[in-house]
Amino acid sequence: MGRARAHGDLRGRLLLPLLPEGGLPGDRSGRRTLVVNGALALAAAYLVGALPVGFLVARVFGVGDIRRHGSGNIGTTNVLRAAGWVPALLTLIGDVAKGYLAVAAAGALAGDAGARAGDRPRRLAQPRPLGGGPRDSGVARGRGDDALCVARLDPGRRLRAARRAAPGLRRAGDAGRPRGRGDHHRAAPRQHRPPPRRDRAPPGPGAQRRVTLAIVGGGSWGTALAIHLARQGGAVRLWAREVEVVEGIRARRRSPWYLADLDVPAGVTPTTELAEAVHGASLLIVAVPSEFFATTLESLPPVPEGVPIVTATKGFDPVRHLRMSEVIAAWRPGARIAALSGPTFAREVALGHPTAAVVASRDETLAGALQRQLGAREFRLYASQDVVGVEAGGALKNVMAIATGLSDGLALGENARAALITRGLAEMTRLAVALGASAATLAGLAGLGDLVLTCTGGLSRNRQLGMALARGETTAAVERESRMIAEGTRTVTSALALAKRHAVAMPICEEVGAVLFAGKPPADAVASLLERPLRREDR
């Protein structure tokens, strides 16, 4: 009997908030309505609660699947990290509204008992006692049955209503107070006991925090990107082949060889292990020289499907004459690929100077997401779908920079430099269009913008190489002294091979190639260009 009474009391306490004011309806129709409303309340609460607000907001703002970014969840903080504060604010509002709507739907479909009780509760002819026995019914007589009706509607209000109705009701902690008359008939209030604490198991010895970004390539450009992204609050793993570079960053937060006078933020973790650099990364950026690009990819551990791979290398594969995105596609068919290019001196990006560049992907959603994830106020990124044009412009301008360096080294003047830049752009555009690019892309940041910077800037490695060649130095000596590779020396071979394949005239590239590989004196190369037959400018 005692067990049956306890079970009945438990069922009453659990179902009490869902029942109408008068208790369980006596007629069959009323009970059926109660069951249907309860089922609808549960279904409505479930459907509203299951609405993935963060996922939908990220889709609307062009981020794509938010689960592939940052921490991998659809919460407000991850939306803030991947999409910005406006989508994050909308996600927060949606999540709050979602919880409110679930409760409101459940309350409305369960009969809206709480609202009715607050307006005008009905009096019960025989109110149910709080303690479960007839003796306890006296606790509510001080204020009538209305207080008890309110208490029955919500377990959270039951004890409060009883206390208001019976000021003499004993509370927890009142043990020292003298018992009032009839106290032994009153049910003791239920005390809330928190659930037992379940401590989370400590992480294992191999556990580590999720890495947001991985940069493969610890040269000037890779280091500059790492500094920039860490400055934005990202967690960056930087892979460098040279042990000295990694040890220098670890010990002194400076690279001994590249951008040696600039501090590398603590958010950058250097390593010589590719597996460590790539593990857990949500984005992979490859910034190694073009001649090592394919072999570096082959050395990478398996990259999870869906992780975007961004090439930040400006060049062609020296053997197959492929663009870097084509090398990635051949290595990992179906990969999500993008290219980053534009007028970007590594040092100025690392210093936080205003810079504009282009991130291109055939996947417009990916390009937009990377535009927000990699960009900043001082690093303004424009999105594009013309991967061919962005990559071709970034690679071919290096050859033209060597040509202008030769001209400057020979002291041929500003007019000659302007002519080389202009006619060089015409050559670049012809070949890029033959490869499938849009001519408009070559007139933008990845084409003309990068060309002007590289052909005139004092930090340009390719222009400095051209000037050194004009002074009689060799390519090997210049690269050995600077520890940097001038990509134009590798690109010219691929450019000439592609020009021959597509029947495109590239006289400036031909003369640069003759100086680099055939030993032609720079002055003779300039003379050959000046002696070319006259022609229309638009051809």
pLDDT digits (tens, 9 = 90+) for 444-478: 999 999 999 999 999 999 999 999 999 999 888 88
pLDDT of residue 133: 44
Q: How far is CA 491 from CA 44, 318, 407, 414, in A?
A: 62, 7, 19, 25
**153 and 254, same structural domain?**
no
Question: Looking at residue 360, which CATH number applies to its domain?
Answer: 3.40.50.720
Task: Tell me, letter by letter, the H, E, C secondary structure of 43-70.
Answer: HHHHHHHCCCHHHHHHHHCCCCCHHHCC
Q: How far is CA 466 from CA 34, 57, 89, 343, 455, in A?
A: 87, 51, 52, 19, 10
Active-site hit among 98, 314, 397, 520 = 397
**400 and 381, same structural domain?**
no
Single-letter amino acid, residue 377 = R
Could you read off the pLDDT of 475-505 as tens digits, one per residue?
888 888 877 778 889 999 999 999 999 999 9
* Residue 61 within a domain: no
- For the question of residue 98 being annotated catalytic, the response is no
Output the CA torsion sign for 163, 169, 174, 176.
Answer: positive
Q: Round to whole Å and give the CA distance between 274 and 266.
A: 20
Could you read off the pLDDT of 198-256 as tens digits, one per residue?
443 433 333 334 448 999 999 999 999 999 999 998 899 999 999 999 999 999 999 99
Q: How many distinct structural domains can be found in the chain?
A: 3
**400 and 306, same structural domain?**
no
**263 and 149, same structural domain?**
no
Q: Round to whole Å and give the CA distance between 410 and 43.
A: 81
User: Residue 130: is its pLDDT beyond 60?
Assistant: no
DSSP 8-state symbol, 264: P
**469 and 377, same structural domain?**
no
Question: Looking at residue 486, which CATH number applies to its domain?
Answer: 1.10.1040.10
Contact 62, 369 (CB under 8 A): yes
User: Residue 161: is its pLDDT beyond 90?
Assistant: no
Does the pTM surpass 0.75? The reply is no
For the chain, give the mean pLDDT.
Answer: 80
Tokens of 235: 């967690």
pLDDT of residue 207: 37
Range of the domain at 146: 118-128+138-164
Least confident of 34-43, 350-359, 402-411: 34-43
* Residue 311 within a domain: yes
**308 and 354, same structural domain?**
yes
Tokens of 17: 């908030």
Give the pLDDT band (50/70/90) at residue 271: very high
Give the pLDDT band (50/70/90) at residue 99: confident
**346 and 400, same structural domain?**
no
Give the pLDDT band (50/70/90) at residue 321: very high
**342 and 268, same structural domain?**
yes
Least confident of 42-51, 229-238, 327-336, 420-429: 42-51
Could you read off the pLDDT of 247-257 as tens digits, one per residue?
999 999 999 99
Could you read off the pLDDT of 56-65 as tens digits, one per residue?
887 777 666 7
Could you read off the pLDDT of 352-382 as tens digits, one per residue?
999 999 999 999 999 999 999 999 999 999 9
